[in-house]
């Protein structure tokens, strides 16, 4: 077997393992989807029954979507930390000789896939309850998918690294403290781009889209190179 084939085979196994852990965890599934629904309902009730202008509908949908995404992502990462620490999964994988950078990429990919599934549920609900669903065109949907994908990659690039670091110290609460300041640029840029898409059908100010792309790429590449130091300290 060639080196590239072996690399792909190892990556596929790692991604499949993490996804199975996510989807087999009934507690995680319940927490994620119930929490997502609560966020949508609370925002909807907070704005009351009065009709909103199209601009406010877009802002409300963007707020609901990214707030739910941030907290659901944190719940997922906390669960991942708990599993790795309790069962020693990360240490066991390292004993097989798999490259640390590959472990990082596999965790990012599995987290992106999992959060994408969650977004498929959250996004229509956010648009429906904010009454913004009717003003979303086909082109806007494609742009929204692009922004959500970039935001998810950026979030997971940061989150996997920080969740692994917090797992080394045996504290899931530490993750929340260090995660939100570092994912704030991703959430802010994603929310801004989403608002522009829902209100003007454009990405708006290019600064936010550039920040979303650059931030994710910088963290993804640097964490890939330095993940061995993150694991072993």
Domain map (residue ranges) of the chain: 3-232
User: Nearest to residue 120, comparing CAs of 139, 141, 93?
Assistant: 141
Mean pLDDT of the chain: 81
71-94 residue pLDDT tens:
888 888 877 766 766 666 677 777
Q: 169, exposed or middle or buried, with CB in 10 Å at 0-12, 13-18, 19+?
A: exposed
174-224 residue pLDDT tens:
677 788 888 999 999 999 999 898 888 888 888 999 999 999 999 999 999
**d(Cα 156, Cα 74) in Å, to the nearest integer?**
10
Binned at pLDDT 50, 70 and 90, residue 6 comes out as confident
Only one residue has tokens 């454009």, namely 202
Q: How many CB atoms lie within 10 A of CB 178?
A: 14
Per-residue pLDDT averaged across 56-78, rounded? 82
- For the ranges 24-28, 94-98, 108-112, the one whose mean pLDDT is highest: 108-112
pLDDT value at residue 85: 63
232's CB contacts (< 8 A; 6+ apart) are: none
Give the three-state DSSP class for 33: helix
- Of the CA atoms within 13 Å of residue 62, those in its CB half-sphere come to 23
Q: What percent of the chain has pLDDT over 90?
A: 18
**d(Cα 18, Cα 76) in Å, to the nearest integer?**
11
Give the three-state DSSP class for 48: coil
Looking at per-residue pLDDT, the higher value among 188 and 232 belongs to 188
């Amino acid at each position: 077997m060639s080196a590239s084939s072996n690399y792909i085979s190892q990556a596929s196994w790692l991604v499949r393992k993490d996804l199975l852990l996510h989807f087999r965890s009934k507690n995680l599934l319940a927490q994620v989807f119930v929490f997502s629904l609560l966020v949508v309902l609370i925002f909807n009730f907070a704005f009351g029954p009065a009709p909103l202008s199209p601009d406010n509908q877009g802002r409300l949908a963007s707020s609901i979507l990214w707030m739910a995404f941030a907290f659901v992502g944190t719940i997922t990462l906390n669960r991942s930390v708990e599993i790795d620490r309790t069962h020693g999964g990360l240490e066991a994988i390292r004993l097989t000789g798999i490259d640390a950078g590959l472990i990082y990429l596999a965790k990012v990919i599995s987290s992106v896939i999992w959060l994408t599934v969650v977004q498929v549920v959250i996004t229509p609900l956010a648009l429906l309850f904010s009454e913004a669903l009717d003003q979303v065109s086909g082109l806007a949907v494609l742009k929204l998918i692009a922004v959500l994908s970039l935001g998810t990659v950026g979030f997971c690039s940061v989150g996997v690294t920080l969740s692994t670091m917090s797992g080394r110290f045996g504290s899931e609460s530490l993750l929340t403290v260090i995660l939100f300041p570092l994912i704030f640029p991703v959430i802010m840029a994603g929310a801004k781009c989403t608002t522009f898409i829902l209100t003007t059908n454009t990405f708006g100010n290019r600064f936010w889209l550039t920040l979303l792309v650059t931030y994710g790429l910088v963290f993804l590449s640097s964490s890939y190179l330095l993940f061995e130091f993150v694991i072993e300290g």
